[in-house]
Structure 1
Amino acid sequence: MSKGPGSALLPQTPGSRRPVPRSLSCVSDLDPRPCRPPGCDPRLRPIIHRRARSLPSSPERRAKAAGAPGAACGAGCNRQLRVRFADALGLELAQVKVFNAGDDPSVPLHVLSRLAINSDLCCSSQELEFTLQCLVPDFPPPIEAPGFGDRLARQLVCLERVICSDLGVSGTVRVSNMAFEKHVAVRYTFSEWRSAHEAVACWRGPEGAGGAEDIFAFSFPVPPFLLDLGSRVHFAVRYRVAGAEYWDNNDGCDYSLTCRSHALHMPRGECEESWIHFI
């Protein structure tokens, strides 16, 4: 039998283990000797550790490190950081770059191209010509066509005009005021009607005597691949009112827009005055 401090006499038998300590620090003071009898549980390993205290703040750590007796600078020694300026080491505080008169300046490419255009304009009195690719309607403005009022009276909905720009396609639609609630939309396709999309038109205001007609405005974006020459957009206008549906599809041919080359002429004076905006 063995006797520990502050404990009663306990009989010791072969293979018996000491009681598991109840401290939360560690279970490391178990009997390290292996269990010889068969069927005994394997030796336990320490799995519970005491949670470390929160580290003090930086001033407190420095104060404790400075006042700790016999603190030698070892592998885990915390050294105080120091800042040194370049002039204290005999170095220059600033770096000076000297440019020679023969060195070429670094000018952006778009500025050089604009300067080249200006030099051509100075030597020529002709206008500058640019070639752009944009969508162009394949039909004249419907509102300017003869018989527009008769078409509107027959179809109850007619496309007025279309405007193409870099932001997309926009336009206006005129409908007969059949009821207060109306729904106007433009159905368009980029793939010859293999797939289609719709853009809802917004009411802009009344038109005609006594508000007999209404104006709706629409717009939809154009994907970049349609800026290739020959690309086409087809669309038609749909008008829903009083439970009925009416269409304006250009008399069954659909309205179409084709990407074409467009020449843009810019006067010489305007180019010379606006070159600064390209920098």
Structure 2
Amino acid sequence: MSGFSGSGALPSGPGFRKPAPRSLSCLSDLDSDSAPEPPPYRPPRRPGRAPPPPPAPSGCDPHLRPIILRRARSLRFADALGLELAQVKVFNAGDDPSVPLHVLSRLAINSDLCCSSPDLEFTLQCLVPDFLPPIQAADFGERLGRQLVCLERVTCSDLGVSGTVRVCNVAFEKQVTVRYTFSDWRSAHEAVARWRGPAGSGGTEDVFAFGFPVPPFLLALGSRVHFALRYRVAGSEYWDNNDGRDYSLTCRKHALHMPRGECEESWIHFI
């Protein structure tokens, strides 16, 4: 049995191995295990609901990022675009205003209402037909059978010209058109008539109604309006142009006579 040579002596023998000294790295590991580092400081969050996470994009859709573009306001002057900076209009105090004739006629009516004799007399400019109503002619039926289309009557008002047309009922599909002009056929316009109802015995005839406006500035003394009628049916075309003379209306002065008491109570006082 072997003894110890001192209090700090280590046992020796064939089965005993001396422990290896620890390295500095191992010592540092021991120090870190014994004293862990404190967690990083995080500021406290404000109370409230946390914002929801953005929806995850699908497998087919690319990841999009919101882009906000703000267009800056720009200021450009007219001269930069080749325009004038100012427009000057000169008005002469001595220039007489241009008043349409139909306005002057209304003013004349109002003046006559204030200072007139017991019987009111005034004149108006309006379109007057240059022909008698064709439906009152003795040969109206003969003309209708020959042309398959014939004007019945026409009326004129401030809204324009209106009238009715009678046609032979050849087929179900049919069209009636009025062609009119204000410039003696240098230019022309068309208006489609609308079906009004059957006529004649056994529904062998139909009646159509038409109308077209007349601008007030065209109502000068002596001005004329011409028109003709066209009838399309079963692939054929028929015309009524007053036997080649056209239907015409002329602007004329029309005299009106009305008792003063009756006029003050009528609608004409408010024109």
Aligned length: 166
Compute the TM-score of the two structures, normalised by the length of structure 1.
0.55
> Is the aligned partner of 1:239 residue 2:194?
no
Distance 2:228 2:251 in 1: 18
Relative to structure 1, the CA distance from residue 155 to residue 263 in structure 2 (aligned partners, 3 Å threshold; closer, same or farther) is same
Equivalence map 1:172-187=2 (5 Å): 172-187=164-179
Distance 1:191 1:207 in 2: 35
Off by >2 Å, runs of 4+ in structure 1: 113-121, 271-279
> Is the aligned partner of 1:154 residue 2:146?
yes
Tell me by how many angstroms 1:154 deviates: 0.4
Structure 2 residue corresponding to 1:208, chosen from 180, 190, 200: 200
Distance 1:182 1:269 in 2: 50
Distance 1:169 1:208 in 2: 25
Relative to structure 1, the CA distance from residue 194 to residue 176 in structure 2 (aligned partners, 3 Å threshold; closer, same or farther) is same
Tell me by how many angstroms 1:265 deviates: 1.1
In structure 1, give the amino acid aligned to 2:141. Answer: G
Equivalence map 1:1-279=2 (5 Å): 117=112, 120-121=115-116, 124-125=117-118, 127-274=119-266, 278=270
Relative to structure 1, the CA distance from residue 276 to residue 138 in structure 2 (aligned partners, 3 Å threshold; closer, same or farther) is closer
Q: Deviations over 1:149-169 (max 9, x none)?
A: 000000000000000000000
Distance 1:166 1:148 in 2: 29
Distance 1:194 1:115 in 2: 38
Tell me by how many angstroms 1:272 deviates: 3.4
Tell me by how many angstroms 1:147 deviates: 0.5
Unaligned runs of 5+ in 2: 1-107
Distance 2:212 2:267 in 1: 32
In structure 1, give the amino acid aligned to 2:229. Answer: V
In structure 1, give the amino acid aligned to 2:236. Answer: A
Distance 2:268 2:150 in 1: 45
Give the fraction of aligned pairs with identical amino acids, expressed as a percent.
79
In structure 2, give the amino acid aligned to 1:222. Answer: V
Distance 1:181 1:205 in 2: 14
Relative to structure 1, the CA distance from residue 258 to residue 269 in structure 2 (aligned partners, 3 Å threshold; closer, same or farther) is same
Relative to structure 1, the CA distance from residue 119 to residue 136 in structure 2 (aligned partners, 3 Å threshold; closer, same or farther) is closer
Compute the TM-score of the two structures, normalised by the length of structure 2.
0.57
Kept in 1, the 8 Å contact 2:171–2:233? The answer is yes
3-state SS of paired residue (1:150): helix
Distance 1:170 1:276 in 2: 22
Aligned residue in 2 for 1:90: none
Relative to structure 1, the CA distance from residue 219 to residue 226 in structure 2 (aligned partners, 3 Å threshold; closer, same or farther) is same
Kept in 2, the 8 Å contact 1:114–1:275? The answer is no
Distance 1:222 1:275 in 2: 23
For the aligned residue pairs, the C-alpha RMSD in angstroms reads 2.5
Relative to structure 1, the CA distance from residue 178 to residue 133 in structure 2 (aligned partners, 3 Å threshold; closer, same or farther) is same
Relative to structure 1, the CA distance from residue 225 to residue 152 in structure 2 (aligned partners, 3 Å threshold; closer, same or farther) is same
Q: Deviations over 1:118-172 (max 9, x none)?
A: 5645xx44x1111100000000000001110000000000000000000000000
Relative to structure 1, the CA distance from residue 275 to residue 193 in structure 2 (aligned partners, 3 Å threshold; closer, same or farther) is closer
Kept in 1, the 8 Å contact 2:194–2:209? The answer is yes
Unaligned runs of 5+ in 1: 1-112
Tell me by how many angstroms 1:277 deviates: 5.3
In structure 2, give the amino acid aligned to 1:232. Answer: R
Tell me by how many angstroms 1:219 deviates: 0.2
- Greater Rg by CA: 2
Relative to structure 1, the CA distance from residue 119 to residue 239 in structure 2 (aligned partners, 3 Å threshold; closer, same or farther) is closer
3-state SS of paired residue (1:178): coil
Tell me by how many angstroms 1:223 deviates: 1.3
Distance 2:136 2:150 in 1: 12
